[in-house]
A and B are shown apart, each in its own frame.
Chain A
Amino acid sequence: MTDAAGSYAVTLRNLERRFGEFVAVNRISLDVRQGEIFGFLGPNGAGKSTTIRMLCGLLEPSSGEGTVAGLDIRTQREEIKRRIGYMSQKFSLYDDLTVEENIDFFSGIYRVPREKKAARKDWVLDMANLQEHRHTRTGLLPAGWKQRLSLGCALLHEPRILFLDEPTSGVDPLSRRTFWDLIYEMASQGVTVFVTTHYMEEAEYCDRLALIYRGELVALGTPSDMKGSLMADQVLSVSCERPHEALGVAAGLEGVRDAALFGRDIHLMTEDAGDLAPRLRQVLEARGFQVGTMEPITPSLEDVFVSLIEARDRADGSQQEFKA
């Protein structure tokens, strides 16, 4: 697999991990290009962390193959651990150390060569825009600054691939944008970024997304692909008086997969919005509702996520019936 490993930062072929009878990761295959920002999404228990742990060299696969930064995830796990960066909200900085002390500490952990230490520290302070705050206690920094420092620390040893676990959770949108501008900068220098998150606001920033569910890869594509060609359902947004009651009526109509309130509007997931809209208007008006606008909208990533997962549930459900 050396050829593929050259141009790709991550290659997975039928990667599988079982725990006893339970298949946590079920034959996942995918490639992540060098310099790509790749989002890895899925509900809790879908197999996300198990996959990440295999990619980071912390867990051995049961079967299948994979490389990270050109290294074999089965035989070169120690080497992988030294070559990757990892940043998570849960695993982060020491609040009672100063900015500089945190950098020194992580420099030690990541075994940054002595002759490079000063230069790397400077690089982190510049990148995170913290030169003037090097002696500030980390706990006193605003959340967005801490996140930048945390990012800098994860990059001290110049990894070629960076794993981010819900990186900007709890940060204001302006700081988030600053953070992602840094990530784009890293990526354009060839660093590959692998992001896991529950927050679709973060997912929107990725070049490409994978959705995994019940250990399987359910969808793979750019955020635009996800909202377009990969989204089987359409979303019809309906504004209507007494939306709670109207929701109940709409949810019972044929062809409505899912109905949810969104502020004052109703969002309906359906295979064919063009077919549904006139029927719905008729039914609602017959029951005395004043119906306002009805228009198909671009689904949000959350709509896509929910729709794909429910489609998979339906498919599995019918399969089970078939087996029975």
Chain B
Amino acid sequence: METLRTQALTRRFGDLVALDQLTLAVEEGEIFGLVGPDGAGKTTTMRLLTGILEPSSGEAWVDGLHTVRETEAIKDRIGYMSQRFGLYPDLTVQENIDFYADLYEVPKAGRGERMERLLAFSNLTPFRRRQAGNLSGGMKQKLGLACALIHTPRVLFLDEPTNGVDPVSRRDFWRILYQLQQERVTIFVSTAYLDEAERCNRIGLLHQGRLMACDTVDGVKGLLRGALLELRCEAPRPAARLLREAAIGSVALFGDRLHVLVEDEARGRQAVEAALRAGGIALRELRTIEPSLEDVFTSALPGGSA
């Protein structure tokens, strides 16, 4: 069942087309990632889908409701954690959740139980009386999530939820999202980070307002033609220069490793070995690896703003 659908959704700001004819569908219980750099149109999409902003053209439905004609009804069905999600620093954890419960008109009956569940689920129970301003970045993020979930929404919108959060807290946050998924909550998350995108069931790559690709992570990785070689050698920087000059394939330097995208695996390997031998650089390791989303993004998609 589809929980979210857009049809040629477009938003202009003056001459700028922030979102250009976005058409996509997200299934119930899916974690869908909208992936792209700053300025790609991610936040605009979020604001259109949550009914905060009206489209210039095109339409969208969330949980069966039209985002323009049924805006009020949508607000009861969705949770939205924006990048500037408002927590009140001088209220305690519990008071913040209570505040959002009032805002969403959650009935008092059953509210206590819901609160306990959310606190437990976000590992915030021991901190319930701590002022939100005194929480760590990762804990603030989890409190934001708890507040966005107080009215038991069916669809959750998260705009770059783990910006500035360390990897341990980020992993914790995702553990919570997967638990929500088990309760059939649909999650629409935006991120500028490709390692975060790898955790989604399906992703859409947004670039300058346009959807460049939309598929499972493996599907998107399948867009990469050829074989990706990873090599470790002495003097990686001169080696990168050497391989670029030899035009063996697309070369990317990563600290002590090089990634070379070649058309044909066997011939590519031979060419790399030959070029390094000729340059007098000792090769320590050469293997074929699974591409990451980053490899796909830099090699398979049309040029960006750089």
B39 in the interface (beta carbon within 8 A): yes
Please name all residues of chain A whose beta carbon is closer than 8 Å to the beta carbon of B303 when the two chains form the complex. Answer: 174
Determine whether the beta carbon of B169 is less than 8 Å from that of A261: no
Q: Does chain A have a CB within 8 A of B123?
A: no
Q: Is A289 an interface residue (CB 8 A)?
A: no
Q: Smallest CB–CB gap between A33 and chain B, Å? A: 13
Select B37's contact among A170, A201, A247, A264, beta carbons within 8 Å: A170
B195 touches A198 (CB 8 A): no
Contacting pair B255 A173 (CB below 8 A): no
Q: A300 to B289, alpha carbons, bound, how many Å? A: 13
Residue-wise interface mask of A (197-240) relative to B, using a CB-CB cutoff of 8 A (1 in contact, 0 not): 01111001111100000000000001110000000000000000
B207 (CB) vs chain A CBs: closest residue: A172
Q: Are B255 and A205 in contact (CB under 8 A)?
A: yes
| A288: interface (CB < 8 Å) | no
Quick check: which of B56-64, B151-159, B197-205, B261-269 contacts chain A, the rest being far away?
Answer: B197-205
Q: Is B178 an interface residue (CB 8 A)?
A: yes
A178: chain B residues within 8 A (beta carbon): 306
Check A263 for interface membership: any CB of B closer than 8 A: yes
Chain B residue contacts of A143, Cβ below 8 A: 37-39, 305
CB pair A170 B256 closer than 8 Å: no
Pair A306/B38 contact, Cβ less than 8 Å: no
Known contacts A43-B166, A144-B306; A171/B198 CB under 8 A: no
For the complex, is A194 an interface residue (Cβ under 8 Å from B)? no
Q: Is the CB of A184 within 8 A of B253?
A: yes
Fill in one digit per residue for A117-154: 1 if any B CB lies within 8 Å of its CB, else 0: 00000000000000000000000001111000000000
Report B-chain residues with C-beta under 8 Å of the C-beta of A142.
Answer: 39, 305
Hey, which chain A residues are within 8 Å of B195, CB to CB? 199-201, 300, 302
A173-B194, A173-B294 as given contacts; A144 in contact with B257, CB under 8 Å: no
Out of B163, B255, B297, name the residue touching A223 (CB < 8 Å): B255
| Chain A interface extent, by class | 35 or more
The CA of A264 and the CA of B31, in the complex, are separated in Å by 10
A143-B37, A180-B253 known; A201 and B193 CB under 8 Å?
yes
Cα separation A67 to B139 with both chains bound (whole Å): 36
Residue of B136, B178, B194, B305 touching A144 (CB-CB under 8 A): B305
Known contacts A223-B256, A260-B174, A305-B167; decide if A201 and B305 are in contact (CB<8 Å): no
A293 interfacial by beta-carbon distance below 8 Å: no
Q: With A223-B254, A309-B168 known to touch, is A175 a contact of B198 (CB < 8 Å)?
A: no
**Closest Cβ neighbor of B253 among chain A residues:** A184
How far apart are the CA atoms of A116 and B226 in the complex, in Å?
48
CA of A261 to CA of B193, assembled, Å: 17
- Asked whether any CB of chain B lies closer than 8 Å to the CB of A320, the reply is no
C-alpha gap A144/B40 in the complex (Å)? 12
Shortest A93–chain B CB gap in Å is 15
Cβ contact within 8 Å between A200 and B256:
no
Query: In the complex, A223 Cα to B175 Cα: how many Å?
Result: 26
Across-interface contacts of A201 in B (CB, < 8 A): 193-195, 294
Q: Which of B137, B163, B289, B304 contacts A44 (CB 8 A)?
A: B137
Contact A306 B136 (CB under 8 A): no
Which residues of chain A have C-beta atoms less than 8 A from B217's C-beta?
263
**Contact between B305 and A145 (Cβ–Cβ < 8 Å)?**
yes
For the complex, what is the distance from the CA of A102 to the CA of B169, rounded to whole Å? 36
Known contacts A144-B305, A188-B237, A224-B257, A174 near B169 by CB under 8 Å: no
> Could you say which of A43, A173, A200, A260 has the most chain B C-beta atoms within 10 Å of its C-beta?
A173
Give the CA-CA distance A137 to B165 in the complex, in Å: 31
Give the CA-CA distance A291 to B186 in the complex, in Å. Answer: 25
Q: Flag if B193 contacts A199 (CB, 8 Å).
A: yes
Question: Is A177's CB within 8 Å of the partner chain B?
Answer: yes
A181 to B240, CA, bound (A): 11
Chain B residues in 8 Å Cβ range of A175: 37, 304-306
Q: Which of B36, B168, B253 contacts A43 (CB 8 A)?
A: B168
Would you give 12 A-B contacts (Cβ < 8 Å), ordered by A? A45-B136, A143-B305, A172-B305, A173-B294, A177-B306, A178-B306, A198-B166, A200-B167, A244-B178, A261-B174, A263-B199, A302-B167
Q: Lowest 6 CB-CB distances: which A-B pairs, in order?
A: A172-B37, A43-B166, A142-B305, A174-B304, A170-B38, A173-B297
B→A interface (CB under 8 Å): 36-40, 136-138, 163-171, 174-175, 178, 181-182, 192-195, 198-201, 207, 216-217, 232, 237, 240, 252-257, 289, 294, 297-298, 303-306
Other than the given A173-B194, A187-B237, A309-B168, 9 more pairs (CB < 8 A) read: A37-B255, A142-B39, A143-B38, A172-B304, A175-B37, A181-B253, A201-B193, A224-B256, A264-B201
Q: Mark A residues whose CB is within 8 Å of B.
A: 37, 42-45, 142-145, 166, 169-175, 177-178, 180-181, 184, 187-188, 198-201, 204-208, 222-224, 244, 247, 260-264, 298, 300, 302, 305-306, 309
